[in-house]
């Protein structure tokens, strides 16, 4: 075998590996985003920013605790209604969306149906027609 054949075989192997790697990468690309409606949220960012600013400026940050098999969220004011989003970054099939309306300050949610691990909590609520948005990462043991 002369050197020309060796160069040809080396180039052929390189091409096969390069094409094979490209095919593998394309077939394994799931290209998933954490949120399905990522682009809609980008368009509505001003509204989201204003809701987060309301929490900070009006000192309305709720406290979140996990006690006695309950997720306890304590608001600063009575009479809140909204939606609690629980997002599991490792498995989006476990995500939950829980609407709520409470007359007092405390919202209790049983953790029996929530698997252990790290969760991103997003609370989107209204109090006296003022919208709020609060996000926090918690760990449920």
CATH code, domain carrying 125: 2.60.40.3760
Tell me, yes or no, whether 42 lies in a domain.
no
pTM metric for this prediction: 0.71
By the 10 Å C-beta count (0-12 exposed, 13-18 middle, 19+ buried), 78 is classed as exposed
What is the chain's pLDDT, residue by residue, as a tens digit (141 residues)? 789 899 999 999 999 999 999 999 888 766 655 666 777 777 888 888 999 999 999 999 999 999 888 999 999 999 999 999 999 888 888 899 999 999 999 999 998 888 888 999 999 999 999 999 999 999 988
Tell me, yes or no, whether 69 lies in a domain.
yes
Tell me, yes or no, whether 96 lies in a domain.
yes
Q: In what order do the strands lie in the sheet with 130-140?
A: 96-102, 80-87, 117-127, 130-140
């Amino acid at each position: 075998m002369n050197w020309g054949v060796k160069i040809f075989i080396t180039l052929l192997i390189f091409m096969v590996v390069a094409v094979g790697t490209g095919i593998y990468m394309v077939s394994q690309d799931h290209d998933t985003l954490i949120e399905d409606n990522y682009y809609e949220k980008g368009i509505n960012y001003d509204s989201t920013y204003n809701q987060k600013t309301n929490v900070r400026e009006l000192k309305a940050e709720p406290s979140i605790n996990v006690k006695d098999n309950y997720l306890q969220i304590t608001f600063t004011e009575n009479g809140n209604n909204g939606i609690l989003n629980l997002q599991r970054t490792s498995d989006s099939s476990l995500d939950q969306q829980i609407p709520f309306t409470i007359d007092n300050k405390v919202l209790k949610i049983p953790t029996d149906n929530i698997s252990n691990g790290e969760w991103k909590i997003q609370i989107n609520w209204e109090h006296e027609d003022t919208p709020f948005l609060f996000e926090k990462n918690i760990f449920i043991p």
